[in-house]
Amino acid sequence: MKRRMAVFCSLLALLIAGLSVAQQKSPVTAIKAGRLIDPETGTVATNQVILIEGEKITGVGPNLAIPSGATVIDLSQLTVLPGLVDAHTHMAITYKEQPENNYYYLTYITDSTALRAIQAASNGMQLLNSGFTVVRDVGNNALYADAALRQAIEQGWLPGPTVIPSGPMIGSTGGQFWPTPEMYKYHNIMFPEYIDANSPDEIVRAVRENMLFGARTIKLCIDCKPWGYSVEDIKLAIREAAKGGCKVEGHVQTADGAQLAIDAGVYIIAHNNALTPDHHRQMAEKGIFLAGTDTPFTPYRGSEAAFKRTVANLRDAWEKKVLLTFSTDMDYWNERMKDPKTGEWLTRGELTINFLETWKAAGIPQADILRAMTINGYKAADIISQRGPIKPGFFADIIAVPGNPLSDIDALRNVRFVMKNGMVFKKDGVMVPEKFFHPGPVKTPNGRWSR
Ligand SMILES: [Zn+2]
């Protein structure tokens, strides 16, 4: 009996050892890249091999040996580069001409948080399909639908970009709404679209609550109301956010507000409309990122006059050497969002990449546009130490396009291949997301109870 028990125990030990070895070994993938862009330097290397083990890049070079048993992905006819970043968007709100006449105060009444969370999940996949592997999702996302989407993607329920959520925007009385006394006082209509935070205590509480509920950045309404925030208020928010590892984005819509945000030293300023050349100069000096949200003039959005201003402002910011990011503020939809040639609906990814129109009109060099869409985006999202560069140790978030975006930025409209966290999402121009779907949280990167 004792001997049988001993044999059983040693068999069990062998089995456990075997299992742990099997668990340690991640599948190896080798990408053969015809051209590999380094957006930091704006240079191209030809015929490179990228080795990926599990979720991360383990090697990059021209003559790397491909281990036997590795899955080989042949992108030798394509240009390979890091995934793209939309540094300011809203995935969990879709205001429409019908029924709400583009008034998102009403969207908040008609669309539940649950519905908006599902919209966000769909938008995430559409963005990934167009090569956007990171989005900063900054407010107007119902009751933390943005944070829930980040968690769901991280846990392995479904594919999507790396989401940097802000939770509700923090503002002074009224946020961006002008509610009736009934709705404000008796129905608490501000929350969850905005958190009213008026005193230092309330600002600290609001920042802490957002971080507790899963925010990875803090969005402040600097001047949404004439009684907005002071430099001291903003500095307090920055200090408190830093305790939870978050940077602060200031929403700015007036020149005075811009000056307050700059003086306080926010990490990112959202919206370029109200900024002057002098603000741009100061931002460049202080190293403040700009998420200009540079809307193109299209059949579905904008006016020629507004577009001219947007282009001139973007051009000035570039001339002053502000740290530019590619950002959209997409949060709307209408029935004119169709491809004029095919009559097909444009996807959220296609609508996003179409913001290139503004950058081209501003005459910004292709290498600088690409840097804004990648490296600067990763820095603004504060994840540059983990994602972005195609170098060993970084997450494998990799896309590929025909042509060369450094000489024709529109090449980015034709993303043929997308890899996120080492898993293939799109190949040969077709979405193949099967590996991303699971009936449970297969990964818990922050521990079971942590958001
Ligand atoms: Zn916005």
Task: Please report, in tens digits, the pLDDT of each residue of the chain (451 residues total).
Answer: 555 655 555 555 555 544 444 455 789 999 999 999 999 999 999 999 999 999 999 999 998 999 999 999 999 999 999 999 999 999 999 999 999 999 988 998 899 999 999 999 999 999 999 999 999 999 999 999 999 999 999 999 999 999 999 999 999 999 999 999 999 999 999 999 999 999 999 999 999 999 999 999 999 999 999 999 999 999 999 999 999 999 999 999 999 999 999 999 999 999 999 999 999 999 999 999 999 999 999 999 999 999 999 999 999 999 999 999 999 999 999 999 999 999 999 999 999 999 999 999 999 999 999 999 999 999 999 999 999 999 999 999 999 999 999 999 999 999 999 999 999 999 999 999 999 999 999 988 766 666 6
How much distance in Å is there from the Cα of 105 to the middle of ligand 1?
A: 14
Cα-to-centroid distance, 82 and ligand 1 (Å): 24
Ligand 1 center to 89 CA (angstroms)? 6
Q: How far is the CA of 135 from the centre of ligand 1 (A)?
A: 12
Distance from Cα 400 to the centre of ligand 1, integer Å = 29
User: How far is the centre of ligand 1, averaged over its atoms, from the C-alpha of 312 (Å)?
Assistant: 20
Cα 88 to ligand 1 centroid, rounded to whole Å: 6
Overall pTM > 0.75: yes
CA distance 435 to 365: 38
Measured in Å, residue 403 CA sits from the centre of ligand 1 at 32
Asked if 70 contacts 118 with a C-beta cutoff of 8 angstroms, the reply is no
For residue 177, give Cα distances in angstroms to 75, 148, 202, 223. 49, 24, 19, 13
Rounded to the nearest angstrom, the distance between the alpha carbon of 269 and the centre of ligand 1 is 11
Ligand 1 center to 208 CA (angstroms):
21
Report the 10 Å Cβ neighbour count for 305.
Answer: 9
CA 90–ligand 1 middle distance (angstroms): 7
Token couple for 76: 């030798």
Q: Collapsing DSSP states into helix, strand and coil, what is residue 72?
A: strand
What does the pLDDT read at residue 63? 86
Ligand 1 mean position, distance from CA 165 (Å):
12
Q: 442 CA distance to ligand 1 centroid (A)?
A: 32
Tell me, in angstroms, the distance from the centre of ligand 1 to residue 261's CA: 16
Q: How far is the CA of 448 from the centre of ligand 1 (A)?
A: 31
CA 330 to ligand 1 centroid distance, Å: 7
CA 438 – ligand 1 centroid, Å? 31
Please tell me the distance between residue 205's alpha carbon and the centre of ligand 1 in angstroms: 23
Say how many Å lie between the CA of residue 138 and the centre of ligand 1: 6
The contacts of residue 287 (CB under 8 Å, 6+ apart) are 323
Position 336 scores a pLDDT of: 96
What span, in angstroms and rounded, lies between the C-alpha atoms of 332 and 104? 9
Report which DSSP code applies to 322: -
* Cα 365 to averaged position of ligand 1 atoms, centre (Å): 26
> What residues have a C-beta under 5 A from ligand 1, the ion?
329
Cα–ligand 1 centroid distance for 389 (angstroms)? 27
Structure tokens at 298: 């299209």
Rounded Cα gap, residues 351 and 116, in angstroms: 19
Cα(219) to ligand 1 centroid in Å equals 10
State in Å: Cα 130 to ligand 1 middle.
20
**284 near 249, Cβ under 8 Å?**
no
Q: Give me the pLDDT at residue 450, please.
A: 65
Q: What per-residue confidence (pLDDT) applies to 104?
A: 87
Q: If you measure from the C-alpha of residue 16 to the centroid of ligand 1, how many angstroms do you get, rounded to a whole number?
A: 51
Give me ligand 1 centre to Cα 230, in Å: 21
Question: 254 alpha carbon to ligand 1 midpoint, in Å?
Answer: 15
Q: What per-residue confidence (pLDDT) applies to 22? A: 47
Report how far ligand 1's centroid is from the alpha carbon of 74 (Å): 39
Per-residue DSSP letters for 73-91? EEEEEEEEEEPEEEEEE-T
Residues 47, 419: Cα–Cα separation, whole Å: 19
Residues 108, 35: Cα–Cα separation, whole Å = 46
Cα torsion at 370, 376, 378, 382 (round to 10°)? -170
Separation of 17 CA from ligand 1 center, angstroms? 52
Secondary structure (3-state) at 49? strand
Q: Ligand 1 centroid vs 239 CA: distance in angstroms?
A: 23
Collect all residues with Cβ–Cβ distance below 8 Å to 1 and sequence separation of at least 6: none
Q: What's the CA gap between 39 and 419, in Å, rounded?
A: 17
CA of 329 to the centre of ligand 1 (A): 4
How far, in Å, from the CA of 268 to the mean position of ligand 1? 12
